[in-house]
């Protein structure tokens, strides 16, 4: 199968003008052209297959938004090639954007003073959505996103969560093959976040819409993304499944065991005791060398176990380690 997104050696450099300060700074800014070059996206390559949900992660200023802007045709790349759904986004922008949907976090595409439904009708015309498709899509989205409670209210009166739901509906009315989301859950409460995630999942399951989303919220990634890309300082650091990331770069797993009685020595081969609190003992182990079940059988062969719980390493920690360059010397 041919990938729906193909990105090869994509780069984007910006010239940033140095701004002088102090007296006559305005004149100096005008007449001098001191600038430095910033590599916002540096030789990035990846491809995405139809129906994938890919999380695009990185700290602020890592190059996420610049990548999304190139993928949606807003920015022209400085180097490399880019093909999305058979289009070169920036070259064929007008025809290309009919085949994608995009929601950019805090900004809305809706008309501030108009009721949501009027905005949707306007977009129906702009995207040339046939009446039957429009009705069918709207009915489905009304149900899944529960738009009914506010569909006749002006956009300015909506809460952030409601606005995001309306914007998602607007982005998908023309049944796009791809959906780009830049920080879709930013600033939302837990319930609103969960609703947005369920909707994204629904759209992906039912319509096989390919989704690429940037986020800072790792629960978004855990619940939605089969695959993640990690970018920092313009360079792609990781491309793969979340599990792979955990296994390769994650810290150690922990096994917390409550013993039936107190033992003087609870050492086990292949695991390290990191905490001892009465009958509760915490072991740390490397899951790529020792499976959970093997460890449990080793322990239970020696001691009497009452209760057990397994703790995955925190994904936040893993990713922070990657950002800090502690774990990844050779990419991929």
- Selected binder of other proteins within 3, 6, 8, 14 (CB under 8 A): 14
Asked whether the beta carbons of 51 and 1 are under 8 A apart, the reply is: no
Residue span binding other proteins (CB under 8 A) among the ranges 92-100, 213-221, 280-288, 318-326:
92-100
- Selected binder of other proteins within 15, 21, 23, 60 (CB under 8 A): 15
Contacts of 321 (CB under 8 A, 6+ apart): 249, 251, 327
For position 93 contacting other proteins by CB under 8 A, the verdict is yes
Query: For the chain, how many helices (H) and strands (E)?
Result: 11, 13
Residue span binding other proteins (CB under 8 A) among the ranges 104-112, 246-254, 262-270, 312-320:
104-112
Asked whether the beta carbons of 310 and 254 are under 8 A apart, the reply is: yes
Nearer to other proteins, 108 or 162 (CB): 108
**Burial degree of 2 (CB within 10 A; 0-12, 13-18, 19+):** exposed
Nearer to other proteins, 19 or 320 (CB): 19
Nearer to other proteins, 180 or 249 (CB): 180
Contacts made by residues 289-297, CB under 8 angstroms, sequence distance 24+:
292/253, 292/255, 294/270, 295/255, 295/268, 295/270, 295/271, 296/255
Nearer to other proteins, 203 or 281 (CB): 203
Contacts of 221 (CB under 8 A, 6+ apart): 55, 57, 215, 228, 242, 315
Could you tell me the smallest distance in angstroms from the CB atom of residue 128 to other proteins? 7
| Torsion of the alpha carbons at 304, 305, 306 and 309, rounded to the nearest 10 | 170
For position 36 contacting other proteins by CB under 8 A, the verdict is no
For position 98 contacting other proteins by CB under 8 A, the verdict is yes
How many CB atoms within 10 Å of residue 36? 9
Q: Which of 133, 126, 130, 87 is nearest to 109 (CA)?
A: 126
- Selected binder of other proteins within 8, 20, 76, 201 (CB under 8 A): 76
Window 116 to 135, contacts with other proteins (CB under 8 A): 118-119, 122-123, 125-128
Residue span binding other proteins (CB under 8 A) among the ranges 114-122, 192-200, 214-222, 228-236:
114-122
Asked whether the beta carbons of 50 and 4 are under 8 A apart, the reply is: yes
Q: What phi-psi label fits residue 215: left (phi over 0), alpha (psi between -120 and 50 degrees) or beta?
A: beta
Nearer to other proteins, 123 or 281 (CB): 123
- Selected binder of other proteins within 2, 33, 36, 107 (CB under 8 A): 107
For position 296 contacting other proteins by CB under 8 A, the verdict is no
d(C-alpha 228, C-alpha 223), whole Å: 12
d(C-alpha 55, C-alpha 222), whole Å: 9
Count of residues that bind other proteins according to CB under 8 A? 34
Could you tell me the smallest distance in angstroms from the CB atom of residue 115 to other proteins? 9
- Selected binder of other proteins within 46, 56, 87, 104 (CB under 8 A): 104
Residue span binding other proteins (CB under 8 A) among the ranges 91-99, 140-148, 213-221, 270-278:
91-99
Nearer to other proteins, 155 or 221 (CB): 155
Q: What ranges in 34-176 are assigned the alpha helix state H?
A: 64-71, 93-96, 116-126, 131-145, 160-172
Residue span binding other proteins (CB under 8 A) among the ranges 115-123, 192-200, 247-255, 256-264:
115-123
CA atoms within 13 A of residue 223's CA, in its CB half-sphere = 16
For position 74 contacting other proteins by CB under 8 A, the verdict is yes
- Interface residues with other proteins (CB under 8 A) are 14-15, 66, 69, 72-76, 78, 90, 93-95, 97-98, 102, 104, 107-109, 111-114, 118-119, 122-123, 125-128, 154
């Amino acid at each position: 199968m041919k990938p729906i997104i193909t990105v090869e050696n994509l780069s984007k450099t910006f010239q940033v003008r140095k701004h002088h300060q102090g007296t006559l700074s305005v004149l100096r800014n005008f007449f001098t052209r001191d600038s430095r070059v910033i590599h916002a996206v540096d030789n990035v390559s990846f491809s995405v297959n139809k129906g994938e949900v890919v999380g695009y992660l990185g700290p602020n200023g890592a190059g996420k938004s610049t990548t999304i802007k190139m993928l949606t045709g807003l920015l022209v790349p400085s180097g490399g090639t880019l093909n999305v759904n058979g289009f070169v986004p920036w070259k064929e922008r007008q025809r290309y954007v009919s085949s994608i949907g995009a929601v950019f976090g805090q900004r809305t595409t809706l008309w501030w003073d108009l009721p949501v439904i009027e905005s949707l009708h306007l977009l129906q015309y702009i995207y040339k959505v046939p009446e039957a498709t429009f009705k069918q899509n709207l009915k489905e989205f009304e149900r899944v996103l529960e738009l009914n409670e506010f569909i006749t209210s002006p956009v300015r009166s909506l809460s952030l969560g409601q606005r995001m739901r309306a914007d998602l509906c607007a982005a998908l009315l023309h049944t796009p093959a791809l959906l780009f989301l830049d920080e879709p859950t930013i600033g939302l409460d837990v319930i609103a976040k969960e609703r947005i995630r369920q909707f994204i999942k629904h759209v992906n399951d039912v319509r096989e819409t390919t989704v690429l989303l940037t986020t800072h919220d790792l629960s978004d990634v855990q619940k939605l993304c089969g695959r993640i890309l990690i970018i920092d300082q313009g360079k792609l650091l990781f491309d793969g499944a979340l599990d792979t990331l955990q296994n390769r770069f994650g810290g150690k797993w922990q096994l917390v065991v409550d013993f039936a009685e107190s033992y003087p020595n609870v050492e086990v081969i292949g695991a390290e005791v990191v905490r001892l609190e009465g009958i509760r003992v915490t072991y740390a182990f490397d899951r790529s060398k020792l499976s959970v079940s093997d460890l449990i059988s080793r322990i239970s062969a020696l001691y009497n176990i009452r209760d057990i719980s397994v703790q995955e390493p925190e994904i936040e920690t893993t990713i922070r380690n990657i950002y800090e360059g502690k774990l990844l010397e050779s990419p991929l």
